[in-house]
A and B are shown apart, each in its own frame.
With several copies, the nearest count.
Chain A
Amino acid sequence: MADLSVRLAGLVLRNPFLLASGIWGESGDSLSGAWSAGAGGVITKSIGTAPRPGYPNPTVETYERWGLLNAMGLPNPGIDEYPREIEVARRAGAPVVGSVFAGDAAEFARLARRIAATGVVAVELNLSCPHAEGFGTEVGSEPEDVERIVRAVVAEVRLPVIAKITPNTSDPAGLAAAAEQGGAAAVSAINTLRALAIDVHLRRPVLSHGLGGLSGPAIKPVGLACVWQIFEAVSIPVVGIGGIRTGRDALEYVMAGARAVEIGTAVAFDGIGVFERLNRELSALLDEIGYARLEEAVGAAHTKL
């Protein structure tokens, strides 16, 4: 049985599978449910300064069996109410990473300080939501912005800061390098790809917001490329995200350079039991290939080109 535990920016995770932000992340019971189901750690829904209802439905659209579009619109209970949810998850023993979104560096710093005070083990900055006006990609597409935001947050909190990078860019590695420059302890990639679904009979976009983000198996090759490029550009650890559904998918990310991975859409497609299966599959695969510890495989594919 291969050792799946990983060290990530000072944390030790029992396995590399983190619940991705935005999935099972609004309530403390759900966060602890993901932890009981076998996640190595859980990331909260991205939390903002005030409660947000998000966009009207339809907010999701499945794309065949290989993708999912969403434009939730960053619904969240707001930083005043949310700490009680984190508390519930913490009491259940889950290592909780607090995700925050904001419109500028000062707001990011304020939110990060508040969420850091709730006992989370790290803070993830959502610099990459592709469909929320004034947030996400809109503040995270230029290296200077990323560096400034990360620097402002790092100055406020003692916890590891993880910058979540957008794939909707010509240079993901440049954004990651800017995050490193700003003092990030790790970068995570990718968030969803800007995407659209149209209903030809109704002659309109399906999602109420029009544009949304694509996740799920369809984006795995794009996520792998981002992680690959980022791994070559930075020396801080990388967290891989995008379309992971099997132990093999996860190992592909690890070999591309990820020390840990996040699981999102697979929870919708396969249920929360996916965490247990991922652990089982990854462990069996490492045994088969001949790795005693997952960490030995980090970046393994880079030595070959």
Chain B
Amino acid sequence: MRTIVRVTERVQETPSTVTLRFPYPPSAAPGQFVMVWIPGDDEIPMSLSYTQGVSKGITVKVMGETSRHVQAIEPGASLGIRGPYGNHFDVRARRVLVVGGGSGAAVLAPAAAEARTFGAELVVALGAIRADELLFRERFRSLGARVRVATDDGSEGHAGYVTAVAEDELARHRFDAVWTCGPEVMMRKVLAAAEAHGVPLFGSMERHMKCALGMCDACAFGSYHVCSDGPVFPADRLKATADFGRFHRDPSGRRVPF
């Protein structure tokens, strides 16, 4: 069963990223995702970037044909939504280092927002290819987070990978948790750093998804399914999974290297 929702709002977050808001009453926790059906086109997994209240949101980065179509959607258009699916971040942490690369910030922002309601202290390490692609920087700031940025082209903040910023923060401060989402190579590095400093890490994973019901095996990730055992995995599960950062599966189920 899908619920057909009408898009109420469209926000161009960055040149390549758009947020769509729509009324969707089921309760959701940050980290959870929905399956978004663009009628006449594909259905793709999207983290909820707004989880509180009835007006939920997704924040979509252009990756290919379907995400381009999603981006082109205007208020008034219909989407089919099912979910939310999957597990979520434990938002009752006290001092959290949030490490986001690219569209990874989409799932981290609502987690940060909910953590704030529990009084968490937040440091956000945000990476993007260019300054104008830094997603949700203002949103993190307005939550009272200390935000540090990294850009591939050096147009703002640290020139290079956001992992360096994360390593620096972990070296200087004590954290109770690291939350991360982004390219798996990035997450591998953040994991290594968090481990070196003894900080529990939770990473949000992506795999090709079809059923989102823990059945079809499309999202197999070692002995886990990202749709039902994830998308948020603790460090030990990530480390125990040989495919982490190395292999994913294409829609036919073939194991392909990143």
Please say whether the chains A and B touch (CB closer than 8 A). yes
B211–A206 CB distance below 8 A: no
Partner of B228, one of A78, A202, A271: A271
Question: Which of B216, B228, B254 has most A Cβ within 10 Å?
Answer: B216
Q: A53-B252, A76-B253, A77-B253 are in contact. Are A60 and B228 (CB under 8 A)?
A: no
A3-21 interface with B by 8 A CB criterion: none
B217–A59 CB distance below 8 A: no
B36-69 interface with A by 8 A CB criterion: 37, 39-44
A29 to B249, CA, bound (A): 13
A62 to B213, CA, bound (A): 10
Q: A57-B35, A268-B215 are in contact. Are A78 and B42 (CB under 8 A)?
A: no
A22 to B211, CA, bound (A): 12
A265 to B4, CA, bound (A): 24
A24-57 interface with B by 8 A CB criterion: 24-27, 29-30, 32-33, 45, 51-54, 56-57
Partner of A202, one of B39, B211, B214, B253: B39
In the complex, chain A residues whose CB is within 8 Å of the CB of B183:
none
In the complex, chain B residues whose CB is within 8 Å of the CB of A68:
213
B254–A81 CB distance below 8 A: yes
Say if the beta carbon of A61 comes within 8 Å of chain B: yes
In the complex, chain A residues whose CB is within 8 Å of the CB of B213:
60, 62, 68, 268
A30–B210 CB distance below 8 A: no
A201–B78 CB distance below 8 A: yes
Say if the beta carbon of A302 comes within 8 Å of chain B: no
In the complex, chain B residues whose CB is within 8 Å of the CB of A33:
223
CB distance from A126 to the nearest CB of B (A): 15
Partner of B1, one of A32, A64, A76: A64
Partner of B216, one of A22, A29, A62, A78: A22
A29–B251 CB distance below 8 A: no
Say if the beta carbon of B218 comes within 8 Å of chain A: yes
Question: Which of B213, B214, B215, B218 has most A Cβ within 10 Å?
Answer: B215
Task: Please encode chain B, from 192 to 229, with 1 for each CB lying within 8 Å of some chain A CB and 0 for all others.
Answer: 00000000000000000111111111101011010010
B210–A72 CB distance below 8 A: yes
A59–B4 CB distance below 8 A: no
We find that the number of chain B residues with CB closer than 8 angstroms to chain A is: 36
Say if the beta carbon of B236 comes within 8 Å of chain A: no
Say if the beta carbon of A91 comes within 8 Å of chain B: no
Say if the beta carbon of B138 comes within 8 Å of chain A: no
A54 to B222, CA, bound (A): 21
Partner of A23, one of B4, B82, B215, B250: B215
A59-100 interface with B by 8 A CB criterion: 59-64, 68, 70, 72, 75-78, 81, 84
A54–B252 CB distance below 8 A: yes
B217–A27 CB distance below 8 A: yes
A199–B253 CB distance below 8 A: no
Say if the beta carbon of A58 comes within 8 Å of chain B: yes
In the complex, chain A residues whose CB is within 8 Å of the CB of B217:
23-27, 30, 45
Say if the beta carbon of A267 comes within 8 Å of chain B: yes
CB distance from B164 to the nearest CB of A (A): 33
B252–A77 CB distance below 8 A: yes
A61 to B37, CA, bound (A): 12
Partner of A52, one of B42, B82, B252: B252
CB distance from A189 to the nearest CB of B (A): 20
A216 to B14, CA, bound (A): 44
A242 to B36, CA, bound (A): 29
In the complex, chain A residues whose CB is within 8 Å of the CB of B254:
51, 77-78, 81
B251–A54 CB distance below 8 A: yes
Look across to chain B and name the residue whose beta carbon is closest to the beta carbon of A201: B4
Say if the beta carbon of A158 comes within 8 Å of chain B: no
Task: Please encode chain A, from 131 to 174, with 1 for each CB lying within 8 Å of some chain B CB and 0 for all others.
Answer: 00000000000000000000000000000000000000000000
Say if the beta carbon of A204 comes within 8 Å of chain B: yes
Nearest first, the 9 closest Cβ-Cβ pairs linking A and B are: A26-B253, A57-B43, A268-B215, A53-B251, A27-B220, A26-B217, A268-B213, A51-B252, A77-B254
5 additional contacts (CB under 8 A) given A26-B220, A54-B210, A81-B254: A24-B217, A27-B220, A51-B252, A57-B210, A75-B218
**Residue positions of A touching B, CB distance < 8 A:** 22-27, 29-30, 32-33, 45, 51-54, 56-64, 68, 70, 72, 75-78, 81, 84, 199, 201-202, 204, 206, 208, 264-265, 267-268, 271-272, 304
**Residue positions of B touching A, CB distance < 8 A:** 1-2, 4, 35, 37, 39-44, 78, 80, 82, 209-218, 220, 222-223, 225, 228, 249-255
Residue pairs across A and B with Cβ atoms less than 8 A apart, 11 shown, are: A33-B223, A53-B252, A56-B41, A57-B43, A58-B2, A61-B1, A70-B211, A72-B210, A199-B2, A202-B4, A271-B228
